[in-house]
């Protein structure tokens, strides 16, 4: 395997042989694709970012993005399951975990023995994540967690939840801490599973914590530093979501082009309607590449990740919508309805696209913010990444 291109080819084959043939049934039956996830685990795809010393593939964010794009082009539900597991559920341990926590969890996550989930959002706090109300109280050698999380991807299937809770009386972001909460702890249960318009194979729902006790050693990072864990991991998580957008856009565009080719001369007009999307797909790939390179090189990448997320997920929605129009009445029958329904959630999760604009604006207003492509491939990030 030679870097990102070789790895991408492997995942593309996996997606074509294993994922694609099951995508329509996963969508139709609202079924968690356990069989596909188990095969992805055997192929190493649940441990892409995990260093080899902990049993993973030890690859970078460019490879991770390539994997998510390829999976999403075949099945967006499978892509988001793998993405959440490998980014926001694994990276908190990778980046902020103690050596003991890494040894306890990373090999199991990388092998797919345990699926991960990330539980930040609450009924009263989504975009304003620092307003969360779940509490963690210290009792002797344990923390006791109480509260309700909502919109948790992989809920009910996960063996480990990264849970954010308020420790102490400090209000806002500084009062938030992060915890490793195994799914089998007494008092933890799955509440309502939400019916979504798309991503039918990916369970999203409530996680209820009633006096859930975890050892003191399950605190991630330090007390009051949980918000930092969440924001850093959401930044890199957005690279995966951008790649998911690329995958959906590519699939929709590719299928619409197949239709245009089949129309013979009449297909030229159809292809013209798709030209802008094809150009934007290439541009989107550049944004994802730039953010992934900077992230992998430990350079600041918040702005680039938000730009990629905003651009690529809006692109996915528009590509799916345009392709549906181009296909006419054959659209739903041939799977375009699925792309359209799946794409919508990407504009909402891991920070809505309105919030991405707020993040980008804040970055742009910084005194030293460079408008030119400071992180373009081939620049400083390109050399060290
Ligand atoms: C399918 C799916 C899966 C998800 N998976 C997870 C998960 O695994 N873990 C998890 O913790 N969460 C998850 N989420 C939750 C998701 O991150 C939140 O839905 C999202 O952050 C928005 O929060 P909210 O729904 O409470 O909307 P709100 O924050 O109430 O926002 C409502 C509207 O107001 C806008 N808005 C809010 N604040 C601002 C602002 N400052 N400036 C401009 N506009 C603003 C928003 O853009 C939005 O349009 C998931 C959501 C979905 C739909």
Q: 120 in ligand 1 pocket by Cβ < 6 Å? A: yes
Q: 151 in ligand 1 pocket by Cβ < 6 Å? A: yes
Residue partners of 260: CB distance under 8 A and separation at least 6: 267, 268, 270, 271, 274, 326
- In this structure, are 107 and 202 located in the same domain? no
Crossing angle (nearest 10°) for helices 226-262 and 302-327: 30
CATH number at residue 205: 2.40.110.10
Domain boundary among 174, 196, 224: 224
Q: 73 in ligand 1 pocket by Cβ < 6 Å? A: no
Domain boundary among 201, 224, 247: 224
How many angstroms separate the alpha carbon of residue 129 from the centre of ligand 1?
9
Tokens of 19: 């994922």
Nearest Cα to Cα of residue 254 among 352, 320, 200: 320
Which atom of ligand 1 is closest in space to residue 149's alpha carbon? 11
Question: What residue spans of the chain are helical by DSSP H?
Answer: 3-14, 20-29, 34-42, 61-74, 76-86, 91-96, 99-111, 226-262, 267-296, 302-327, 330-333, 336-346, 353-364, 380-384
Residue 381 in any domain: the answer is no
- In this structure, are 57 and 130 located in the same domain? no
Chain Cα centroid distance, residue 168: 30
Which atom of ligand 1 is closest in space to residue 127's alpha carbon? 29
Nearest Cα to Cα of residue 65 among 120, 107, 4, 154: 4
CATH number at residue 65: 1.10.540.10
- In this structure, are 281 and 333 located in the same domain? yes
Which atom of ligand 1 is closest in space to residue 350's alpha carbon? 17
Instruction: Write the residue with the smallest CA distance to atom 38 of ligand 1.
Output: 127
- In this structure, are 75 and 96 located in the same domain? yes
Expressed as residue numbers, the domain containing 264 is 227-372
Q: 132 in ligand 1 pocket by Cβ < 6 Å? A: no
- In this structure, are 169 and 187 located in the same domain? yes
How many angstroms separate the alpha carbon of residue 191 from the centre of ligand 1?
19
Residue 203 phi, psi (nearest 5): -70, 135
Q: 121 in ligand 1 pocket by Cβ < 6 Å? A: yes
pLDDT tens over the chain, length 385 residues: 557 889 999 999 999 999 999 999 999 999 999 999 999 999 999 999 999 999 999 999 999 999 999 999 999 999 999 999 999 999 999 999 999 999 999 999 999 999 999 999 999 999 999 999 999 999 999 999 999 999 999 999 999 999 999 998 889 999 999 999 999 999 999 999 999 999 999 999 999 999 999 999 999 999 999 999 999 999 999 999 999 999 999 999 999 999 889 888 888 988 998 999 999 999 999 999 999 999 999 999 999 999 999 999 999 999 999 998 887 776 666 667 899 999 999 999 999 999 999 999 999 998 876 655 544 443 333 323 2
CATH number at residue 326: 1.20.140.10
Residue 94 in any domain: the answer is yes
| Number of structural domains in the chain | 3
Instruction: Write the residue with the smallest CA distance to atom 52 of ligand 1.
Output: 349
Q: 242 in ligand 1 pocket by Cβ < 6 Å? A: no
- In this structure, are 90 and 178 located in the same domain? no
Domain boundary among 194, 224, 254: 224
- In this structure, are 259 and 330 located in the same domain? yes
The structure tokens 């892409």 sit at 48
Q: What positions carry a catalytic annotation?
A: 350
Which neighbouring-strand residues pair with 136?
Answer: 145
- In this structure, are 297 and 252 located in the same domain? yes
How many angstroms separate the alpha carbon of residue 130 from the centre of ligand 1?
13
Q: Which DSSP letter does residue 376 get?
A: -
Residue 40 in any domain: the answer is yes
């Amino acid at each position: 395997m030679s870097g990102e291109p070789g790895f991408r080819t492997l995942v593309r084959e996996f997606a074509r042989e294993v994922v694609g043939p099951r995508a329509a049934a996963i969508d139709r039956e609202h079924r968690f694709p356990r069989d596909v996830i188990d095969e992805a685990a055997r192929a190493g795809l649940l441990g892409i970012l995990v260093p080899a010393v902990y049993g993973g593939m030890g690859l970078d964010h460019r490879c991770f993005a390539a994997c998510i794009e390829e999976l999403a082009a075949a099945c967006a539900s499978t892509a988001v399951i793998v993405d959440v597991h490998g980014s926001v559920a694994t990276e908190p341990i990778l980046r902020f975990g103690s050596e003991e926590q890494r040894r306890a969890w990373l090999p199991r996550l990388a092998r797919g023995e345990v699926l991960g989930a990330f539980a930040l959002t609450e009924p009263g706090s989504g975009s304003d994540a620092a307003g969360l109300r779940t509490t963690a109280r210290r009792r002797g050698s344990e923390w006791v967690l109480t509260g309700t999380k909502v919109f948790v991807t992989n809920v009910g299937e996960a063996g480990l939840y990264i849970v954010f809770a308020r420790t102490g009386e400090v209000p806002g972001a500084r009062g938030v801490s992060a915890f490793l909460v195994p799914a089998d702890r007494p008092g933890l249960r799955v509440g309502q599973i939400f019916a979504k318009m798309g991503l039918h194979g990916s369970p999203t729902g409530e996680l209820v914590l009633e006096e859930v006790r975890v050892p003191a050693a399950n605190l991630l990072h330090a007390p009051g530093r949980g918000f930092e864990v969440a924001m850093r991991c959401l930044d890199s998580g957005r690279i995966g979501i951008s790649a998911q957008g690329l995958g959906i856009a590519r699939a929709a565009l590719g299928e619409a082009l197949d239709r245009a080719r089949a129309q013979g001369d009449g297909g030229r007009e159809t292809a013209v309607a798709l030209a802008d999307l094809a150009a934007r797909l290439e541009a989107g790939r550049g944004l994802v590449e730039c953010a992934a390179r900077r992230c992998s090189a430990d350079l600041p990448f918040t702005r680039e990740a938000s730009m990629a997320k905003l651009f690529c997920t809006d692109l996915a929605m528009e590509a799916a919508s345009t392709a549906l129009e181009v296909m006419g009445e054959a659209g739903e029958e041939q799977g375009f309805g699925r792309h359209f329904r799946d794409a919508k959630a990407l504009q909402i999760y891991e920070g809505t696209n309105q919030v991405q604009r707020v993040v980008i604006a804040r970055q742009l207003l910084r005194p030293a913010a460079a408008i030119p492509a400071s992180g373009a491939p081939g620049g400083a990030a390109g050399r060290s990444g």
